[in-house]
Amino acid sequence: QVQLVESGGGLVQAGGSLRLSCTPSRKISSINTMSWFRQAPGKQRELVATLTSGGSTVYLDSVKGRFTISRDNAKNTVYLQMNSLKPEDTAVYYCSSLQDSRRYWGQGTQVTVSS
């Protein structure tokens, strides 16, 4: 079992930046994959960014060049740095971990981008 605690959401104007944080209940170095998903009203949840234990990253096409997923092992925290935010980035963002074929979810944090 892995608990994930997120923070950092909020309201920002288009073009602005936010940084989301996610702290798991176990060491990040022991987790295979950490990811950020998002779900906008009336839409399916989608994968935004993934970071593997080996350091590989994958991004949703629409956020490439604007979002960066990273981790700080000393703080046991994964981040999603979001720059040049657009209204279409508005959603609830979820931190997720994948370990031994089991996926765990955080509670979600709201990101709202005003035009």
Q: What tokens appear for 108 in the block?
A: 């979600």
pLDDT for the residue 30: 86
pLDDT one-digit tens code per residue, 34-70: 999 999 999 999 999 999 999 999 999 999 999 999 9
Burial (CB count within 10 angstroms: exposed 0-12, middle 13-18, buried 19+), residue 80 = buried
CA atoms within 13 A on the CB side of 15: 1
Averaged pLDDT of the chain: 96
- What value does the mean pLDDT take over residues 76-94? 98
